[in-house]
Structure formats: C-alpha cells, structure tokens
Amino acid sequence: MVRADPSINKRFESLKTHLESENPTLIDALSGFRKLDDVGYRTGLIDTDNSYAMQISWWPLVSILGVFSAGKSSFINSYLGKSLQKTGNQAVDDKFTVICYGESEAGRTLPGLALDADMRFPFYRISDEIDKVSEGEGRRIDAYLQLKVTDSDVLRGKILIDSPGFDADQQRTSTLKLTDHILELSDLVLVFFDARHPEPGSMQDTLTHLVERTINRQDSNKFVFVLNQIDTAAREDNTEEIVGAWQRALSQKGLTAGRFYTIYNKDVAVPIDDESRRARFESKRDADMAEIESRIREVEIERAYRIVGAMEKTAYKLRDQAVPAVSRLRGVWAKRVLLADAVVFGLLALAVLGVAIATGSLGALGALVLGMFTQPMSLLAVILGVLAAIVAIHFSLRAVIARWMQHRIKKSEDAPYAKGFRHSTRFWRTVFSSRAAGWNRRSRKHVDEVIEQASSFVQALNDRYTNPSGTSRDVSGD
C-alpha cells in the first residue's frame, strides 16, 4: 500500500473527530475515500499529499451569488439575525466570505489561509488551483477569501458563502475560477438579482455565467433564483412587469422551469402606504422566504447524499474513465517507443553497413567480427558495449517521447490524466504492457468495494431520513 503524506492522516483524524459529533453516519465513508486514495496513489492519478476526500465539502454548503447591490448581504444579515456583513448600494466587499458557526470566536474575521489549509472547508488548497490559472496569485489567497465566525444558531452545522458582486465583464480569471469551484461544491445556490434594475438585458454576461452554464447540470435543481428588493415595485404596483422581464431574460438563457422567488428585506423596505397592497407584498414575501429557509434547512440531508454520491462517482470515474485513459495513453507511448527503437537502430545498422561498403572495408568488417569469436574477451567487451549503447539510446528515446506526450496531454482533454501517464512511464516501467501502472486485481477490488459500499450508505441514509413503514422512531441523529 502506498502511504499517504502524514499531513493527510492528521487531516483525516480531524475530519473524523468533526463527523463523530456532527454526523456519525458519514464516518464510514472515510474508509471508502481511503481505498480510493490508495488506488489513486498506486496509479499516480493523485499525489500522496492529496486525497479525493478533500475535493468535496464535508459541511453543508449554501452559496449566495448575484450581481452588485442585489441585496445578498442584507439577506444574510436578516437570515442570521446578526449585522455581520456590510451593506450598501455599491460594492462593499471584493472577497468571497465564508461564514460558519462558532461561539468563542463569534464576530471574528480570519484570513483566507484559514480556509486554504483546512480540509473540512470547500476551499482546501484552492491556492494551488488559483496558481494554475494565474501564476503567483495563489500566494495572495487572503485577497480572495476570508472566514467570518458567527454564533447565530441557524448556522449550526452548515456554511454560508457570500460572493463579491458578480460582474462577468470585470471579474478576474481567478475569481471566476473560485465561482465555478463554489458552484460545483454547493448543496444549494441562491442566485440574486436586483428588482430595482428591471433591465436584465444589460447583464447578459452575468446571466450566461449564472444561468446558462448551470441549467444543463445534473444537479441543476440546487439552483434557486431570487429577485430581491421587490418592495421597490410597490408604489407603481408593477410587480408582474418586473418579474416578467426577468423571467423572459432567464428563459432566453434556457431556464424555462424551476422556482423563481420574489422577496425583500422588511427592515430596510420602502414604506408601503396602501394597507391592502402592503399586506399582499408581505404575504408573498413571507411565503417565498419560508420556502427559501426550508431549502436551506434541508441542505444537511442533501449534503450526506452528495458526499456518498461523490464517493461513488469518484470510484466509477477511476475504474471507467481515468484508468482506461491512462492505459490508452501508455499504450500509445509504448508503441511509439518501440517504433522509434526500430527506426533508430535500423538506421544505425544501415549506416554502419553503408560506411563499410563505401570505404571498401566490408571484408575487413567481416574479418573483425569473425576474429572476435575467436577471442572471447574481446567478444564480451563488444557485446557489453553494444548493449550499453542500446540501453542508453532506448531509455533516451523513452524519456523524450514521454516528455513530448506529457506536454501535449496537458493541453488536451486528457489533461486530468497527465499525472497518471507520467507515473506509468517511469524509467523502470516496461514498454511491453499497455495497462496503467498500479492497476491490478487488488486495485479493481478496492474500487468495486467502494461502489458496493456506496449503495449500503444510501440505504443507511434512507433508514435515517425516511420512514416508509410509518412506525414511530427518532431520526434526528442527535
């Protein structure tokens, strides 16, 4: 078994301690990720200081994205019952803010490094990913992320992420990388738009990134679209017109189904003098807010299924995509090496023969060869010398072809398998096998066990969160 880096073991122990108190059902999933890591290490698909378990968020994650001044921070403050986030009509924060529960540290703001170094958070080692997009930016992780702690009870057991105002025309590439990272890991994504600016046509780039690129996802149901600050439409009483304009804009991007909420913050709302109109607006706001808050409460259950699903998805991807891709690339490399050997050594043989013929020394060459057979020591020295030259040329060709292919792979759709390819073409690997290095009967058994284990986990989660029989039992998990 390839051993993981000691730091990984420490983080697994930290995560296990966290799950013991927060969701013991998921503890067994750690052993599944350990098995997948072992296969990943053996095949070279991941480094020993990394883990598949650290590529997901282990806490329920609710992300709040949207355009500038869409009222995201006001919504968060209202939901938490705390004045945690700064609010204003202009951009007041240019960082992603991760908000989690904590009693002793309530009110404190910690740097982005606190997130980058803790595997329980969804930004573990995100600085490495930022560096891939923009070299050197990973060292400036504090310019992109911050962690805030609150003692609001509604946040127990979950994480909120408040994004900086989204303006796709002006966002840096690294920020877009973080946005995509958040979209991938979140259990629920609230996408906010501003009802005070009923001209969605001016935000086509924003709509493209937050809508068009999400509707075809398998998890598209986790996206909730919110038209905030609808109270500004109360005086003209043209709510339907504003909602219609936004719905048409979203439908143009392909969003023709799903829930579209209209809310506002009652603490900073525009006064509505007409009593019946005020009652109508408040009733709609309260109903929509209740649904949104219900969705937020459900993320803990969704998170548990997501983690099990991620484990199963990783297992299938290893077995059915990654390993076959590495085997295919390794097979191409082996064929090219053997072909290069044949061409180079064939040319060398022809060159020697051609020189002998051209200089009229073919007979002398034959006599030299015959003479070596009568002098064993000379023959041995020549054989060893030729073999050394062959080995040197062969391994040089291997290395050159591997480096050339590695460079091309990194720029192709096979980029995720570049590490596995490099691992499979080390100098001690034979060229007479196209199977990915490290993939054997034991590795496949581990992956198959994880897939089977995932089904058992789903059943355990169903037993905890559902009750088809209707019998009375406690599924709170407390």
Tally of domains in the chain: 2
The chain-wide mean pLDDT, for the chain, equals 79
Structure tokens at 114: 């606190």
33 burial class (0-12, 13-18, 19+ CB within 10 angstroms)? buried
Digit-coded pLDDT (tens) for 24-82: 778 888 999 999 999 999 999 999 988 898 888 788 889 898 777 778 888 888 888 88
Digit-coded pLDDT (tens) for 243-259: 777 777 777 766 655 56
Supply the pLDDT for residue 110: 82
Co-location of 178 and 98 in the same domain: yes
Digit-coded pLDDT (tens) for 122-147: 677 777 766 665 666 667 777 778 88
Co-location of 269 and 161 in the same domain: yes
Q: Looking at this protein, which amino acid is placed at residue 410?
A: K
Structure tokens at 437: 């290095």
In a domain, 412, yes or no: yes
How far separated are the first and last CA of the chain, in Å rounded? 37
Find the CATH number of the domain harbouring 104.
3.40.50.300
In a domain, 28, yes or no: no
Q: How confident is the model at residue 451 (pLDDT cuts 50, 70, 90)?
A: very high
Q: How confident is the model at residue 290 (pLDDT cuts 50, 70, 90)?
A: very high
Domain enclosing residue 376, as ranges: 323-441
Co-location of 241 and 342 in the same domain: no
Co-location of 264 and 348 in the same domain: no
| Residue 369 vs residue 103, higher pLDDT | 103
Co-location of 142 and 267 in the same domain: yes
Query: Whole-angstrom Cα distance, residue 72 to residue 65?
Result: 7
Cα 150 to Cα 84, 100, 143, 317, 459: the distances in Å are 8, 6, 21, 38, 35
Co-location of 214 and 346 in the same domain: no
In a domain, 460, yes or no: no
pLDDT at 401 over 50: yes
In a domain, 98, yes or no: yes
Co-location of 145 and 283 in the same domain: yes
In a domain, 450, yes or no: no
Co-location of 265 and 163 in the same domain: yes
Contact in structure between 418 and 412 (CB atoms under 8 Å): no
Co-location of 266 and 336 in the same domain: no
In a domain, 36, yes or no: no
Q: How confident is the model at residue 445 (pLDDT cuts 50, 70, 90)?
A: very high
In a domain, 16, yes or no: no
Supply the pLDDT for residue 478: 41
Q: How confident is the model at residue 315 (pLDDT cuts 50, 70, 90)?
A: very high
pLDDT at 170 over 80: no
Supply the pLDDT for residue 199: 57
Supply the pLDDT for residue 214: 65
In 8-94, DSSP assigns E strands to: 61-66
Digit-coded pLDDT (tens) for 406-443: 999 998 999 999 999 999 999 888 888 888 999 999 99
| Residue 172 vs residue 318, higher pLDDT | 318
Supply the pLDDT for residue 396: 93
In a domain, 37, yes or no: no
Supply the pLDDT for residue 166: 59
Co-location of 165 and 205 in the same domain: yes
Structure tokens at 292: 């949104």
Digit-coded pLDDT (tens) for 461-475: 888 777 655 554 454
Co-location of 432 and 377 in the same domain: yes
CA-nearest of 125, 105, 107 to 57 is: 125
Digit-coded pLDDT (tens) for 231-289: 777 767 777 777 777 777 777 766 655 567 888 887 777 787 788 888 888 898 899 99
Co-location of 259 and 153 in the same domain: yes
